[in-house]
Structure 1
Amino acid sequence: MTGTYYAAASPNAPAFVKIGEYVKVGQTLCIIEAMKLMNTIESEHEGEIVQILVSNAQMVTAGQVMMKIRP
């Protein structure tokens, strides 16, 4: 999905995930704003967040890798 990446639900809220955090399938990773709609992106895998490749409020494109998760 192409849109704007947001690491948290609001500017004052903590990030959904951080490097080193263990995530489960279905856990919210971020929000992508596309056409003024906020789309929650959930993890399809379980594992540790080892890298976050985008910055908050950065434009992302469909198919772009935003995070790396180690099983």
Structure 2
Amino acid sequence: MLEIISPIPGTFYRKPSPTEAEFVSVGSVVTPDTVVALVEVMKTFIEIKAECSGKIVEVLAQSEAVVEAGSVLFRVEE
């Protein structure tokens, strides 16, 4: 089982905007370049990429939650 972690602390977002769909959800297939979420730090939005290939099997962070660097955001099955 692989994990996608937050490289930085900040506010976690699963959608690019409130009116758009989530980047990924359980069952989504990702590649290393797939954007899976955003983390906001000091009014700057940083794209979080999967950096692995597989299928999302668990979402561990709630949208708009504060996450720390190293927080596990998603679990991925190869």
- Fold agreement, TM-score > 0.5: yes
> Which among 45, 50, 67 is matched to residue 38 of structure 1?
45
Aligned AA (1:56): S
RMSD: 0.5
Aligned AA (2:48): I
Unaligned runs of 5+ in 2: 1-7
Q: Does 1:10 align with 2:5?
A: no
Calculate the TM-score normalised by the size of structure 1: 0.97
Unaligned runs of 5+ in 1: none
Q: CA–CA distance in 1 between the matches of 2:23 and 2:42?
A: 22
Calculate the TM-score normalised by the size of structure 2: 0.89
Aligned length: 71
Aligned AA (1:46): S
Q: Does 1:70 align with 2:77?
A: yes
Q: CA–CA distance in 2 between the matches of 1:36 and 1:54?
A: 20
Tell me which stretches of 4 or more aligned residues in structure 1 moved more than 3 Å: none
Aligned AA (1:44): E
> Which among 60, 63, 72 is matched to residue 56 of structure 1?
63
